[in-house]
Amino acid sequence: MSRIVYVNGAYLPEEEAKISVFDRGFLFADGVYEVSSVLAGKLIDNAAHMARLERSLGELKMAPPLPLDEIPPIQREIVERNGLDQGTVYLQVTRGAADRDFPFPKGVTSSLVIFSQERNLLEDPAAAHGISVVTLPDIRWQRRDIKTVQLLAPALAKQAALDAGAKDAWLVEDGHITEGSSNNAYIVTLDGTIVTRALSNAILHGITRRAVLALAEREGLKVEERSFTPEEAYEAGEAFITSASTFVYPVVKIDGRILGNGVPGPVATKLRQLYIEMALAEA
């Protein structure tokens, strides 16, 4: 059975789901997106994703394709129509289709596309064994707080990491880690402090980051929101990443240096477990 995709008001089999070649998402990467995870057929922390979507649209002066409170029912319909139990729902808004020109077109309606991807989020070998990352220069633009679809730099970084035998890249700017190619990055110092870069335009304000830091504080763990260098990361007791589609993945190797004893650390393991418990309770 073919997947059902939402495109501008219609629910279509994926083969029939089409967008104009003049769509500004295609021509200019003039669009924003959100990825919400689904557990037990329910969207996780979706209100926070919708709030970030509203902010991304506002920062780009892009009109919502329809009132924003009408989007979650469409996401739920996509989950329902595709019988999705576990996976993600991707949603993308672009500035719509107009003859190719740089300024914003007038009188054009934004496009909205929503589709689901099935994936086993709970039983995930990367989470069980931990992942390795390599550091690479952060060549992205300066508004990484806006979740735009211009993902060429992260795609290049992810591929370079795979080519180097790692699972992901941690991006470095001015000698400090900003974040992962599609996730937020954390280390845990030898005295047990969780360190992650503070919010700014240099990183995406992760929805999972916010939830995980709240859980860490609830557990009485010490959290420092500050920049850290690759060298500090090599000496850390453990490390991890967070995102909606990975929850928490332990990082066991950075640039070929093994952290601790090379297995997922207790802090990352605990935070993953707490996050999943909270998400399942919400589902």
Is residue 208 at the binding interface for ligand PMP, with CB under 6 A as the rule? yes
b/e per residue 121-152 (b: at least 16 CB within 10 A): beeeeebeebbbbbbbebebeeebbbbbbbbe
Report if residue 207 touches ligand PMP, rule: CB under 6 A.
yes
* 35 or 66: CB nearest ligand PMP: 35
Q: Does 183 bind ligand PMP (CB under 6 A)?
A: yes
Q: Does 130 bind ligand PMP (CB under 6 A)?
A: no
Active site residue 253: no
272 SS3 class = helix
272 binds ligand PMP (CB under 6 A): no
Name which of residues 11 to 50 contact ligand PMP (CB under 6 A).
35
Q: Which is nearer to ligand PMP, 111 or 243 (CB)?
A: 243
Residues 84, 91, 244, 268: which binds ligand PMP (CB under 6 A)? 244
CB of residue 117 to ligand PMP, shortest distance in Å? 13
For position 182 contacting ligand PMP by CB under 6 A, the verdict is: yes
Tell me how far apart the alpha carbons of residues 164 and 160 are, in angstroms, rounded to a whole number: 6
Q: Number of C-alpha atoms within 13 angstroms, CB side, residue 271?
A: 34
Measured between alpha carbons, how far is 236 from 7 in angstroms, rounded to an integer? Answer: 46
Q: What is the CB-side half-sphere exposure of residue 52 using CA atoms within 13 A?
A: 22
The residue from 18, 42, 61, 147 that is catalytic is 147
Asked whether position 242 contacts ligand PMP by CB under 6 A, the answer is yes
Question: Does residue 158 interact with ligand PMP by CB under 6 A?
Answer: no
The answer to whether 233 and 239 have CB atoms below 8 angstroms apart is yes
Query: Any contact of residue 168 with ligand PMP (CB under 6 A)?
Result: no
179 scored as a contact of ligand PMP (CB under 6 A) = yes
Rounded to whole angstroms, the Cα distance separating 91 from 74 reads: 10
One DSSP character per residue, 36-70 reads: EEEETTEESSHHHHHHHHHHHHHHTT---SS-GGG
Residue 243 found at the interface with ligand PMP (CB under 6 A): yes
Residue 204 binding ligand PMP, by CB under 6 A: yes
By three-state DSSP, how is residue 282 classified? helix
Whether residue 275 contacts residue 154, with contact meaning beta carbons closer than 8 Å, is answered with: no
Q: How many residues bind ligand PMP (CB under 6 A)?
A: 13
C-beta of 249: minimal distance to ligand PMP in Å? 11
Among 209, 213, 239, 264, binds ligand PMP (CB under 6 A): 209
Residues near ligand PMP (CB under 6 A) are 35, 179, 182-184, 204, 206-209, 242-244
The residues carrying an active-site annotation are 147
